[in-house]
Amino acid sequence: MNAALREILSPYRHPCGGLKLTVNGEACVLRCSGALWLPGRQTLIASDLHLEKGSAFAARGQMLPPYDSPATLARLEAEIDALDPRAVVLLGDSFHDSKAVSRMDGAQLARLERLAAGRDWIWLEGNHDLDALAGALANPFKRLPGRVVETLALGGLFLIH
């Protein structure tokens, strides 16, 4: 795909206002990217990133381009750059399987560290990433930023995967 066409077709490269609504008393913006923005709390919420899905499929003989994690992190980074959130909540299934973090290269882990720097970075456990998060938080060589929780209450919102 040529650069001009890619620029036109890449939704995360263009400003995204989103749809404003109130949920249980909490002001929310449904972003074009699929993320949820809580402007009153300066909190960005994203779900089901499934990082390293391509490498998991490749290990099983299914060919999927290995660009899914960098592309997903680029979309997340675009939202963080646009909104400058105080907190980022990743609402489960951030990793495709239990070995996903170990397959991430140093550049991707460093990118996560940069994105999380100076923010409250919260991983909610999803069914795909219970083992991935536990292992990564305990491994000094593949350490993830932030903290892990099962559930999270933000005002009138109760978050669970």
Domain that holds residue 7: 3-159
More confident residue, 64 or 83: 83
Supply the mean pLDDT for the chain: 81
More confident residue, 12 or 60: 60
- Is the pLDDT score of 85 beyond 90? yes
Query: CA distances (Å), 135 to each of 15, 74, 126, 131, 143, in order?
Result: 36, 24, 14, 6, 9
- Is the pLDDT score of 109 beyond 80? yes
Tally of domains within the chain: 1
Q: Give the per-residue pLDDT at 12.
A: 47
Would you place residue 126 in the very low, low, confident or very high pLDDT band (cuts 50, 70, 90)? confident
Which whole number is the average pLDDT over 50-56? 68
Helices (H) and strands (E) in the chain, counts: 6, 9
- Is the pLDDT score of 160 beyond 60? yes
Pull the structure tokens for residue 23: 């949920």
Query: Coil, helix or strand for 137?
Result: helix
